[in-house]
Amino acid sequence: MTKTAKTTEFPTFDAEKATDQIRAIAEKGVEQSKEAYDKLKTGAETAQKAIESTFETAKSAGSEFSLKSIATARANAEAGFAHLEALVGAKSLSEVIELQTAFVRQAFETAVEQAKDFQAASSKAAEEVSRPLKDVFEKSVKELKVA
């Protein structure tokens, strides 16, 4: 009985197939990089637009707030001058006290109303200024949940 040796064959290395596989992997990596770049670019552009919108809104709100402050100061000055004229025209001490009491009461009520107006304007301005960034943030969160 003779024993025959078994021969084991090893698969041959095909350099062309390996090159094709490496090329496919590299192309896929480049494609994924381009997609990531496009998403990053789109996100950056969206953020830039939101920031620009926020600054424009802040500028507008600041101007509106300044005009409201000037109008308030003017109204208070006019009320003060009108009161001063009334005091100058008073004929007795009791009339001066009556005018002064009415003026202080009116000034207090006006101050409360002006404070409410400023508070409402501040709240509105804060909401308008934060809206663009809030919208971008909410959109980003929704996109992350989808992905």
> pLDDT-derived band of residue 43, with 50, 70 and 90 as boundaries?
confident
* pLDDT tens-digit series, residues 82-121: 999 999 998 999 999 999 999 999 999 999 999 999 999 8
Tally the residues of the chain. 147
Q: What is the pTM of this model?
A: 0.62
CA distances 114 to 62, 70, 118, Å, are 17, 12, 6
* Residue 129 CB coordination number (10 Å): 20
* pLDDT tens-digit series, residues 3-31: 666 666 666 766 777 788 888 888 998 99
